[in-house]
Chain A
Amino acid sequence: MRAFTQHQGVVGPMDRANVDTDMIIPKQFLKSIKRSGFGPNLFDELRYMDEGQPGQDCSQRPTNSEFPLNFPRFKGASILLARKNFGCGSSREHAPWALEDYGFRAVIAPSYADIFYNNCFKNGLLPVVLSEQQLDILFDEMSATEGYQLTIDLAEQKVVRPCGESFSFDIDEFRKDCLIKGLDEIGLTLQSAQVIKDYEKTREAEQPWVFGAIK
């Protein structure tokens, strides 16, 4: 998992409440055997004029010119401004996979659905919680400024605006630590790699028939 320490990037909008996981990545893409490559289908129904199918070349599809993330000024956006209850609906981990694959490193919203929030941390995506008023300010500044960028400093727990002022945010210490070190659940376990190796050594001495059998 990619570590998250500090990130500066272009800000893009998803200006509606209760964006559900089916909106983030529609169900026809779940048949995939992959967990990458969902970026071109992020917000598929909003982004394109036709119905998306798995395995399509999305560069040839008609795009919805009224969908903000399609505006040239938001090209390459890596921070998503969103509204309350972002990521509601199913537990599919495909939602953070799609956001991450598109290029987003962080989402800023007033609240998230629980499972989506958890899933973000497993995939190196930082879900920042700010108040509705703070989000209003950011949405306003973004609309007024072409190429609007924010800096998110996870260590300092701050979202720094172009004017130099910042909003601080709360985050669970353990999750913060894992993100900063780039540790997913497996990464965490592998911090105990030596303990696992020691166990194997003892076990192999006692029960040699267990190892090396399958080849």
Chain B
Amino acid sequence: MSAKTVYDKLWDSHLVKQNKDGSALIYIDRHILHEVTSPQAFEGLRIAGRLPWRLDTNLATPDHNISTDPLERAAGVAGIPDATSRIQVQTLDDNCDHFGIKEFKMNEMGQGIVHVMGPELGATMPGLTVVCGDSHTATHGALACLAHGIGTSEVEHVLASQTLVTQKMKNMRVTVEGTLGSGVTPKDVVLAIIAKIGTAGGNGHAIEFSGAVFRDMSIEGRMTVCNMAIEAGARVGLVAVDEKTVDYCRGRKFMPADKMFDKAAAYWRTLVTDKDAVFDTEVVLNGNDIAPQVSWGTSPEMVVPVTANIPRVEDQTDPVKRSGVERALEYMGLEGGTPISAVAVDRVFIGSCTNSRIEDMRAAAAIVKGHTVSTTVKQALVVPGSQMVKEQAEAEGLDAIFTQAGLDWREPGCSMCLAMNADKLGVGEHCASTSNRNFEGRQGNGGRTHLMSPAMAAAAAITGHIVDVREFVGEQS
């Protein structure tokens, strides 16, 4: 038997049928649904007179369109101001009730951003295939799952058949050895990777993140990294199983218990890449060299260390890159050659499926504790990724630290990551954001996103401009 990567093992164990044309039918173990990409899939089932293949694999929750404002939220679905959003959330509720799909409704304990909720409830387990109508589904790969986003017609296909017609990807390994410096987080690691390989670097590949930096990283940190695999062009990102993975799984709601857990864990421990396995593409970074990262432009590869200057058009030799830099600088209203740390921010957003877990909340709270949000910052939002994160943060008193410092403590949802709800940037506003995409208009028409870690965003809230968080870390130690 030839040596296999984790991805090879996951693929092989889910292969139902290999077709002659190169496509394959793979089995789907977990299907997570939300309000935006599911309504037409459910209607497709109704029109065709089909039922879900099985129910115990599906899990739903609203996250994209819901209000994070506590007052609007308290008014329930009827309190969602935008009619289209309200109808989508109501339709998800109705469809889940009708078909008998397990849903955590908007204000129910368990609800959260799909990619925060799945792992924390133990619905995501090592060795599973996990799909969702959302491109950041690779997040679940942190638990050694084969996880990726799908389109609405595929949502219907999975509901009806528990399978997906797809093709095997190539294997890529991104190895980061060494040790991260103080103030350098998983978000900085993934931004540095994207800066190195580019937004198309992972096209057609499943990326395995490997090396000392990921071994030392918490499971939540690995989720942040896998979450942004799609920003490097890869639909799948994953990390092999180790004892941290097994420990993370223990005791969660949908996980097996007792002897069954031990049996499962024994299998999970086989989900590591064989010593002699060959990757189609290898990328290596040194963790010691990574500084806190900030995006300056309109693509997730337009990233610099916080200590660096914004790139200059005249320094770009490649004509395509040159015009890209020129356009991005114009959209962002920035001047090449100036320090990124000189950029003032109008709003701060700490949240999203990338960075809204309890460790992110703790990291941000540690920075803002005892400080006050700069008077030049119009709004600083902290949006926990789930009801469970919110409850835990409040139990630790983090909400009080945020509100005392002048940040808004919100209800769980996707919030300002994607401008599909009321949390948006105004035209020309700069935002220190812990989300995953800095495309033009992503956080609101004309809005200007700077991607960074929760600690960096918290520091920016206090100083009113992009700042090296290590100045704060130094201050605290």
Could you list which residues of chain A lie within 8 angstroms of chain B, going by C-beta atoms? 1, 31, 33-36, 93, 122, 184-187, 189-190, 192-193, 195-196, 199-200, 203, 207-215
Contacts and interface: CB of A to CB of B under 8 A. Distances in A.
A150 B73 CA distance: 57
Contacts of B123: 213-214
A214 B157 contact: no
Interface stretch (B56-64, B383-391, B407-415, B429-437): B56-64
Nearest to B92: A33
Nearest to A33: B39
Interface string B28-51: 011000000001100110011010
Q: Is the interface of B mostly helix, strand, loop or mixed?
A: mixed
Nearest to A34: B43
B25 A214 contact: no
Contact of B56 (A34, A190, A213): A213
17 contacts: A31-B84, A34-B40, A34-B43, A122-B153, A186-B161, A189-B160, A192-B16, A195-B16, A209-B125, A209-B255, A209-B260, A209-B264, A213-B125, A213-B256, A214-B30, A214-B123, A215-B55
Contact of B44 (A35, A189, A192, A214): A35
B468 interface: no
Contacts of A203: 13, 27
B16 A196 contact: yes
Contacts of B125: 209-210, 213
A183 to B, nearest CB: 11
B128 A210 contact: yes
Closest 8 CB pairs of A and B: A33-B39, A209-B256, A213-B254, A209-B264, A35-B40, A189-B161, A199-B16, A186-B160
Contact of B48 (A33, A184, A211, A213): A184
B27 A200 contact: yes
Contacts of A195: 16-17, 25
B99 interface: no
Interface residues of B, number: 46
B87 A199 contact: no
Contacts of A93: 153
Contact of A192 (B25, B57, B260): B25
Nearest to B15: A199
A122 B385 CA distance: 37
A212 B56 CA distance: 5
B156 interface: yes
A196 to B, nearest CB: 6
Contacts of B88: 33
B351 interface: no
A112 to B, nearest CB: 20
Interface in B154-183: 156-157, 160-163, 165
A189 B165 CA distance: 8
Contact of B25 (A34, A189, A200, A209): A189
Contact of A214 (B56, B160, B264): B56
A68 B88 CA distance: 36
B221 to A, nearest CB: 25
A91 to B, nearest CB: 11
B27 A189 contact: no
Contacts of A184: 48
A9 B29 CA distance: 45
Contacts of B40: 33-35
B102 interface: yes
A119 B64 CA distance: 28
Given A212-B56, A214-B56, A35 B47 contact: yes
Given A35-B43, A214-B30, 19 more contacts: A34-B43, A35-B44, A35-B47, A36-B47, A185-B153, A189-B163, A192-B16, A192-B17, A192-B25, A195-B16, A208-B260, A209-B264, A211-B57, A213-B56, A213-B256, A214-B57, A214-B123, A214-B254, A215-B55
Contacts of A215: 55-56, 102
Contacts of B165: 185, 189
